[in-house]
Amino acid sequence: MKRLLVTGGCGFIGSEFVRQQLANYPDQTVVNLDALTYAGNVENLAALEGNPRYEFVHGDITDRNLIDTLLKDKPFDAVVHFAAESHVDRSLLDSGPFVRTNVLGTQVLLDASRAAKVDKFVHVSTDEVYGSLGATGLFTEETPLAPNSPYSASKASSDMLVRSYFHSFHFPAVITRCSNNYGPYQFPEKLIPLFITNLMANEQVPIYGTGTNVRDWIHVSDHCRGIDAALRKGMPGEVYNFGGRCEKTNMEITLLLLELLEKPQSLIRYVADRPGHDLRYAIDCSKAERELGWTPQVVFSEGLRDTINWYRENTTWTSRVKSGAYRQYYQQQYASRLA
């Protein structure tokens, strides 16, 4: 895998993946294609400026001409596809961009990658395509897809397209499905970075419903090591689940953050629940452990402490991404939840 095309490399997980690839594989080049939506920041990879093995291309995965030309002109061994609209709450406000990028964009990329005869295509998906668990059980790769939000429905649709290209054309694609990531550079609209940055500013933290919903947390570096393993060792046509074996209720996360940041519980604000809020996600990642030799390594308490430190040390990044259009989105979102 000497020449990689990464989509969405200016986002949270994609930028960690690009950093890891360039650090771990000295003879590898990475082209990062990103549309720089509100969630994408070139700044996330500023440390790579001038690196001869890294190139940034500003563009949209739904732009067929651009994608066809890029894949025709530059021979890539593999494509790792992160680019997506990724936030459930935004998909409840407007599902249009989710269908456009996550479904149509994936189709454009699949067609161009197939024509370019890439050796491997890794489609980065999510455990949310499986729907919601009750109090017990785990998602396995055999769990039927039952997406509940427009976001997860668009990701499940893209998974089905990828699956169909393998079955119809023997296209060498693998699908990865991971649980909730946390770590540096996560856009502060998601639970952990939103709560860290709000608490740092002594602002309230809005808990949806009763705070009893459960997520399975994994450090972004563990997720990216899993994607790397799927890229190099994954069998075409297969799905690999990744998770942190770290189930926590949203209230547990909130209390931990209050303790680590030394803030009072009076900053907790209960707000209206997310419509269709999935109760619990939890991943069985034994297939990836068995077949890819991967295992999650970061201990949650340590990863969370490091993440808090990162946000403390990068307040310029945070205030920039939290300003302007984001502020407006956040205020509208929470005004409607308080109403």
Distance CA 38, CA 53 (A): 26
Q: Which residue has tokens 């455990």?
A: 127
Sequence-ordered list of residues with C-beta below 8 angstroms from that of 158, at least 6 positions apart, any chain: 102, 103, 106, 107, 123, 125
CA–CA separation, 154 vs 126, rounded Å?
11
Q: What are phi and psi of 55, to 5 degrees?
A: -140, 135
The binder of 12, among ligand DAU, ligand NAD, none, by C-beta within 5 to 8 A per type, is ligand NAD
Per CB under 6 A, 162 contacts ligand NAD: no
Q: Is 40 in the site for ligand NAD (CB under 6 A)?
A: yes
Q: How far is the CB of 154 from ligand DAU (least distance, A)?
A: 11
CA distance 230 to 125: 12
Selection from ligand DAU, ligand NAD, none that 40 binds (CB < 5 to 8 A by kind) is ligand NAD
Contact 297, 239 (CB under 8 A): no
Stretch of residues binding ligand NAD (CB under 6 A), selected from 20-28, 46-54, 178-186, 317-325: 178-186
Q: Which of 21, 29, 101, 221 is the binder for ligand NAD (CB under 6 A)? A: 101
State the binding string over 187-216 for ligand NAD (x if CB under 6 A, else -): x-----------------------------
Which C-beta is closer to ligand DAU: that of 113 or that of 213?
213
Helix 106-115 and helix 64-73, axial crossing angle in degrees, nearest 10: 30
Is residue 110 involved in binding ligand NAD (CB under 6 A)?
Answer: no
User: For residue 18, what are its two tokens?
Assistant: 């690009």
Question: What values do phi and psi take at 17, rounded to 5?
Answer: -65, -45
Give the nearest distance from C-beta 336 to ligand NAD in angstroms: 22
Minimum distance of ligand DAU from residue 174's CB (angstroms):
17
Strand partners, 81: 7, 123
CA distance 71 to 115: 9
Q: Which is nearer to ligand DAU, 21 or 197 (CB)?
A: 197
**Per CB under 6 A, does 178 bind ligand NAD?**
yes
Out of 8, 183, 243, 296, the only residue in the binding site for ligand NAD (CB under 6 A) is 8
Distance CA 44, CA 60 (A): 18
- Residue (168 or 265) nearer to ligand DAU, CB: 265
Show the tokens assigned to 168.
């119809």
Can you read off the two tokens belonging to residue 307?
A: 């993440």
Contact 105, 79 (CB under 8 A): no
Using the minimum distance from each CB to ligand NAD, give the nearer residue, 85 or 228. Answer: 85
What residues between 115 and 144 interact with ligand NAD by CB under 6 A? 124, 126
Q: Hey, which residues are catalytic here?
A: 127-128, 151
Q: Among residues 166 and 329, whose Cβ is nearest to ligand DAU?
A: 329
Q: Which of 34, 222, 228, 247 binds ligand NAD (CB under 6 A)?
A: 34
